[in-house]
Structure 1
Amino acid sequence: MPRRSDMHGFTLIELMITLALLTIVLGIAVPNFTAFIQKTRLQGQTDDLIAILQYARGEAVTRRATAEVIVDDDGPWVVRVAGQSARELSHNTSQAKMDADVASITYRANGTATPALITVCRDDSPETAYVVEVRASGAPIRHERGKGADGNALTSCTL
């Protein structure tokens, strides 16, 4: 059936094909985008943890006093310098769970620290978790996603 020259627009079949392709693309893209957002939030929480550890170390060296990071798996982590609260790291446990193998991390005036391992995980999924290691030198190290401090794949989010 030939079209008249004054008719413009799309046919019903063209619209149906476009909608079908759009549905397929969205069906693939939305779950991947959701996983990307969750991984980004987890990495952001890990970066915040490293920043507060570096802050505590810096304050200990600058003030020539002991700085302590009080670990709370369900609440905010508190930095105390010379016995006074200096900063807090709040975390939403529904977005990321932080589990440490110590109750506190102490930084001395020379920058050294008590060694610790911290796991930052979401939904008990060790393949997307991060392990942050606080070395005796005081340096916090973030290990590769899904890998432990020994370089092997994580099998659990708990230490």
Structure 2
Amino acid sequence: MPSTPLRRALAPGFTLLELLVTLAVLGILAAVALPAQSKVIARNQVTAAANDLFVAMQYARQESVRRNGPVQVCGSVGGLDCDGGHWQQWIVRSSAGEILRRGHIPPAVSVQTVGLFASGIQFRADGRFHQAGSRLQDGTLTVCSERAQRRQALEALGGVQLRLPPSTVGECR
């Protein structure tokens, strides 16, 4: 029986000092890794937002042809009406005002519009797009994040082609 206390003394385990050193090393590693992880998240948010907008545009184009009537994609503040130029939320709606889809842009991501996208893009029954009350056929919708210095642009060219070129590195304007 005297060997029992000796076995407990030699039992494997951690001392308080070893535990504190391990926690300090983990804390340093986390402090180094978190900023890099936050940039990856910001880049992914930009890419996801641009892809969602592109899919919404393609959906609106298909619906305009299927319904044989205009379908609009526009920025919205409340998610119910088009509010020219505010793209933190977006909606796809029919000419009768029926909301077909809606989505939002993450708060860390900003959206800037030029040309056609300024007040929303409308697809006609033939699948071509135009700005309501205008013959303007070109535009760019830029999705970017200052945290990630990442830009993704959705381009409308000549009423015929929507394209989503590869992301570029750069500051938000």
State the TM bucket, normalised to the shorter chain: 0.7 to 0.9
- Structure 1 distance, partners of 2:160, 2:172, is 23
For these two proteins, the number of residue pairs brought into alignment is 147
TM-score (structure 1 length as normaliser): 0.74
Q: Deviations over 1:100-146 (max 9, x none)?
A: 113221212222223321011234x6831211112335443222222
Distance 1:14 1:132, change over 3 A: same
Q: Does 1:91 align with 2:104?
A: yes
Q: State which structure, 1 or 2, has the greater radius of gyration over its C-alpha atoms.
A: 2
* Structure 2 partner of 1:108: 124
Q: CA deviation at 1:47?
A: 1.9
Q: Can you give the 5+ residue segments of structure 2 that lack an aligned partner in the other structure?
A: 1-5, 76-83, 130-136
1:53 pairs with one of 35, 57, 65: 57
Distance 1:110 1:20, change over 3 A: same
* Percentage of matched positions with identical amino acids: 25
- Structure 1 distance, partners of 2:62, 2:151, is 27
TM-score (structure 2 length as normaliser): 0.69
- Structure 1 distance, partners of 2:74, 2:24, is 54
* Structure 1 partner of 2:80: none
Q: Is the 8 A contact 2:45 2:106 kept in 1?
A: no
- The alignment's C-alpha RMSD in Å is 2.6
Identify, as 1 or 2, the structure richer in strand.
2
